Amino acid sequence: MEWASVTGDPRFFARTGPHSLAAVAEAARGEAPPRRVRYTGIAPLQSAGPEEVSFLDNKRYLPALADTQAGAVIIHPDLAGQVPEGCVAITTPEPYEGWARVAALFHPEPPAVPGIHPAAVVDPSATIDPSAEIGPLAVIGARAEIGARCRIGALAVIGDGVVVGADCRIGPQVSVSYALLGARVCLYAGARVGQDGFGFAITGEGLLTVPQLGRVILGDDVQVGANSTIDRGSAQDTVIGAGSRLDNLVQIGHNVRLGRCCVVVAQAGISGSTELEDFVVVAAQAGLTGHLRIGRQARIGAQAGVMADVPPGQDVVGSPSQPVKAFFRQVAILRRMDRDRSKARSARGAAESEAGTD
């Protein structure tokens, strides 16, 4: 069976509108001509219709802009002249940011449905704001606190003493223990927050588990992807700074500290006691050893193996990691050496062949 492409399928996504051009432009934080027109939704350039809003943030898609049937396009002012006739240009210096805000205008997050499902298990000593939603078979432990307008999904487990701030979204089958969550934290399905850190002592009799006595602190607006894991601290806390984003399948070890607005992409792992300053980016499948300091706005390339501190603002790649320019300089040298060796081998083979002919 084939399904037609739909942006914001109403089976899954609530929709508001129609919205006026003025409202859309205001949401995008952009400017648009004063026209009395309304839009019903959003869509990509290639499929948008006259009643839909699209966007352009990459010059590679200028051919799609030329052919679009969209009623309006969110676009940088420098490209506004290329918007086809009949399509309204909503200009903003940050088109992608504008697109995100307009998408949220048409498709806002569904609000919590206040109440506790009859199949949920809630300890009598837990405190749950009356505006919160507790889903079926969720478990809320002793002395836990659930803030206003929170949504706790089906089969989620909120451990004893955990504090969940206002407007948090806890997905299905998430487990949270030994943790304090700020406001607007989002934990996607299957995330594990607060389990034991990987700590043990090597003794003559074997491995001795070290009690993990710290917590996990998640700042405001943190998002943690599906099936990611954040270990609680050993004696200190594991801290994820406000606004940070963790992708799916990320591992954060005990005592790790992330600053504000850090990004850690899928399958990356950060070992215990490593600290990331503000706005650090760790790309997919990168691995960071323990007790490192990664400077502000540093960027770690995909599959990099980081074994030493990284200065602020530096980009590193490779394993062991090194600055980008040094890495590619070495790659160029190796390629040149291989090319020269191949040429020498070919020349030697030709000379031997000629000698054999003589």
Residues designated catalytic: 254
CA distance 116 to 135: 7
Residue 38 structure tokens:
């309304």
CA distance 23 to 35: 11
Cα dist from 239 to 25, 28, 39, 252, 273, whole Å: 37, 33, 42, 10, 10
CA distance 270 to 210: 19
